[in-house]
Amino acid sequence: MQQISKEEIINKREALGKIITESASIINAMGNVPLEDSIADLELKNYKRIKSIKTAHDQAYQRMETAADLMSCLIKSLTEPVETVAPYVLTRGVLESSAYSTWLGRPDISADERVNRSLAMRLKNLREQTLLSEAEPQINGPSQEKYENLASIAKELNAEIKTKNGRLTMVGTQLPVPTVICESELREGATYRILSGVSHSRSFAIQQLCFRTIGPSDQDADRLDSEKFIPPMLVAILFVQAGKAFLTALCARLKIYGFLTREVIQMLRKHSDVLELKEEYFRRCIWAD
């Protein structure tokens, strides 16, 4: 595997941290309110059901912030003494949260499509709560009224609805599964699948990524002992993968809210250069026309 210096790893780790802190400063300074005549501003002023479009923007924002929080934990987990398994799980979380945030917050979709995607996510949320209540009866699940209310909103917006045996199965659009959405939004479906292998303790993944063989066992010469280990190059790769995913979601948010100025792009480019993102990918991240 290609070699990388400790200094290069530290530089990438610091660049990732700066992306989080500096982007948060920009959003906080703006009060998370869209600039006048931005995509979000026009949607929030003109959409036929303001609460629905606001919910869509909020859902995208929450998933972007989730990705940022997980990325912060990733940085800590790869600061000495480093962890060897957790970083893969955290990177997986960054990819998934960033992908769903991007899917909801893309600047190149209509307000109707944004709301359709939001409705699909709301239905998924109700289903998960129902499954939780079935697994643990002491936890109250959503009432049938909540499902009916969601269907009523969809009808009001002329959104597509599907049912089966009286059960609501789709509202607005079909919600993609994580592997599919990581491929469609980030082009990282295969990466997500590998990271999922670690998250689920699959041998093919943890043996190659989280451990290394150290020689025959003292007790059994036919058995090889292993120890926890994460190669330095993989540390750098995790920083890059997390950074690319988060930048995509972040820039979607900044663009539709009118915050993606030339100065902000220059700041992000400086940090992406440290992460060694290719120009082609950086332009995709910033939604360059």
Instruction: Give the pLDDT score at 62.
Output: 96
* CA gap 182, 179 in Å, rounded: 5
* CA gap 128, 93 in Å, rounded: 18
Cβ 77 vs Cβ 225: under 8 Å: no
Task: Give tens-digit pLDDT for 224-249.
Answer: 678 899 999 999 999 999 999 999 99
Q: Which residue has the tokens 């997980």?
A: 70
Which helix (H) or strand (E) is 163 found in, with range?
strand 160-164
- For residues 260-266, give the mean pLDDT: 93
Angle between helices 111-135 and 86-105 (to 10 degrees): 140
* CA gap 48, 52 in Å, rounded: 9
Say how many residues make up the chain. Answer: 289
Instruction: Give the pLDDT score at 221.
Output: 54
Q: Tell whether the model's pLDDT for residue 223 goes beyond 80.
A: no
Instruction: Give the pLDDT score at 31.
Output: 80
Query: Which residues are bridge partners to 225 per DSSP?
Result: 215
Cβ 127 vs Cβ 231: under 8 Å: no
Sign of the Cα torsion 211, 213, 219, 221 reads positive
The total of other beta-carbon atoms located within 10 Å of residue 192's CB is 24
Q: Which two tokens stand for residue 240?
A: 């890059």
Task: Give tens-digit pLDDT for 193-208.
Answer: 999 999 999 999 999 9
* CA gap 196, 194 in Å, rounded: 5
Task: Give tens-digit pLDDT for 74-89.
Answer: 999 999 999 999 999 9
Give the pLDDT band (50/70/90) at residue 43: very high
Average pLDDT, the chain: 93
Q: Tell whether the model's pLDDT for residue 289 goes beyond 80.
A: no
Residue among 254, 245, 227, 235 at smallest CA distance from 281: 245
Cβ 169 vs Cβ 179: under 8 Å: no
Task: Give tens-digit pLDDT for 1-31.
Answer: 578 999 999 999 999 999 999 999 988 888 8
Task: Give tens-digit pLDDT for 126-182.
Answer: 999 999 998 998 888 888 899 999 999 999 999 999 999 889 999 999 999 999 999
Q: Tell whether the model's pLDDT for residue 219 goes beyond 80.
A: no
